[in-house]
Amino acid sequence: MRPAISGSAPATPTFSTSRFRAEREADWIAFDALLTRLEKRGAKALSSEELLQLPLLYRATLSSLSIARATSLDKALLDHLEALSIRGYFLIYGVRQSRLDRAKRFFLHDWPAAVQSVWKETLIIVLILLLGTLTSWSLVTHNPEWYYNFIPEELAGGRDPRASAEFLQGTLGHGRAAGEQEGALHMFATYLFTHNSQVSIMSFALGFAFGIPTLMLEYYQGISLGAMIAIFTSKGLGFDFGGWLFIHGTTELFAAALSGAAGLRIGAAVVFPGARGRLQAAADAGRTAGKVMVGVIIMLLVAGLLEGFGRQLITETLLRYGIGTLMLLFWLGYYYLPRQETDS
């Protein structure tokens, strides 16, 4: 056996971790520098030569880590190599698409596909909404006193069974009797958008508790809707109220139903995981639901614009129906029309 470099300890083997480090340190430093630039400024910051270097340096670092684990006891060295390898792994295997590509793919494929795949849940939520609406509608129609149980006084804003037909007509915004200032429309729209988004996010998030709170929330939404409809139909304003509701309601209620469906999907996956493990099932459902939720927020933005601007500026009932129907057809077509399967 050859004596060690310094020769002080007689039995030191020829392999020395100090020498191992001296030989390879340059690679690690170079890799570290490349990663730092990549993290700060993205792939554009590297020349093509450096990009080619990247996987080589990554593999060299990983192999250093393996050797160091088997031979070295220098904690600082091991920790550094481990941290460097982890950073390198996630950068090299992490991103395969640019943000623009990802966005394009989301709108063209992922979003409609995700919505399509929760069609069963959507149907259930729509039925629950309808059930809630019908329940409160029939109750209030037969006995207006019920109304006060469903809609709190302060939210009704005077739109209750005692109100006159003229007053109700006024709240529908014909001839701007609603007292809405034109300048404040965008404020109104923004408020509606942020508020509705928050409610939808909640309705989605609550799906975790086996979907039951989600169902309750949706049923409750239906209840208030039905009570409102009953008030207006009893005064013979059903058609006008329909237009008032329809212009943004098709988009907004659709979005609300989808957020409920996303929540329900998660709840169902937790209760009935099927052949997969419960964790795996929840994770799969969560990813689909996440895509649906991004879509829901976009839809609510559209609904907020329609409600804040469209409804206040367009007072013709038929036109309101027209726009509402058009939006509904657009969403239905976007989501459910069969389309060519794009690869990847």
Partner 1 sequence: MTTAAVHARAQALRKSKVRQFVTPEGVDLELRIASAGLRLGALVIDISLIQLILLGFTLLMIWALGASQSSIAISIWMLGAFVLRTFWFIGFELGQRAATPGKRLVGIRVVARDGGRLTADAVVARNLIRELEIFLPLTFIGFSAAEEMVNWWTMLAGFVWSLTLSLFLLFNRDRMRMGDLIAGTWVVMAERVKLDRDIAAAAEAAAAALTFSDAELSVYGIFELQELERVIRAADARAMREVADTIRAKIGRPVAEEDDVFLLSYYRQLKARLERKLLFGKRREDKYASD
Residues 193-232 that bind partner 1 (CB under 8 A): 193-194, 197-198, 201-202, 204-206, 208-209
- Between 160 and 180, whose beta carbon lies closer to partner 1? 180
- Which window, 21-29, 138-146, 228-236, 238-246, contacts partner 1 (CB under 8 A)? 21-29
119 binds partner 1 (CB under 8 A): no
50 binds partner 1 (CB under 8 A): no
Q: Can you tell me the distance from the alpha carbon of 53 to that of 48, in angstroms, rounded to the nearest whole number?
A: 9
SS3 (DSSP) at 253: helix
* 21 alpha carbon, distance to own chain's centre: 47
- Between 162 and 195, whose beta carbon lies closer to partner 1? 195
94 binds partner 1 (CB under 8 A): yes
Count of chain residues binding partner 1 (CB under 8 A):
84
Find the binder of partner 1 among 27, 34, 38, 221 (CB under 8 A).
38
Give, as one character, the DSSP assignment of residue 182: G
Find the binder of partner 1 among 62, 134, 314, 328 (CB under 8 A).
62
Q: Can you tell me the distance from the alpha carbon of 225 to that of 150, in angstroms, rounded to the nearest whole number?
A: 10
CA separation (Å) from 264 to 131, 132, 145, 241, 292?
17, 17, 33, 30, 12
Backbone phi, psi, residue 287, to 5°: -70, -45
Identify whether the C-beta of residue 232 lies closer than 8 Å to the C-beta of residue 241: yes
Find the binder of partner 1 among 122, 136, 288, 315 (CB under 8 A).
288
Identify whether the C-beta of residue 32 lies closer than 8 Å to the C-beta of residue 85: no
74 binds partner 1 (CB under 8 A): yes
Q: How many CB atoms lie within 10 A of CB 183?
A: 7
The dihedral through the CA atoms of 45, 51, 55, 57 has a sign that is negative
Find the binder of partner 1 among 148, 191, 210, 334 (CB under 8 A).
191
- Between 143 and 280, whose beta carbon lies closer to partner 1? 280
Closest separation in Å from C-beta 118 to partner 1 = 13
Quote the tokens at residue 75: 């904690």
Count the residues in the chain. Answer: 344
280 binds partner 1 (CB under 8 A): yes
Binding mask 230-259 for partner 1 (x = CB under 8 A): ------------------------------
- Between 29 and 329, whose beta carbon lies closer to partner 1? 29
In the window 302-341, what residues touch partner 1 (CB under 8 A)? none
SS (H, E, C) 96-140: CCCHHHHHHHHHHHHHHHHHHHCHHHHHHHHHHHHHHHHHHHHHH
- Between 243 and 267, whose beta carbon lies closer to partner 1? 267
73 binds partner 1 (CB under 8 A): yes
45 binds partner 1 (CB under 8 A): no
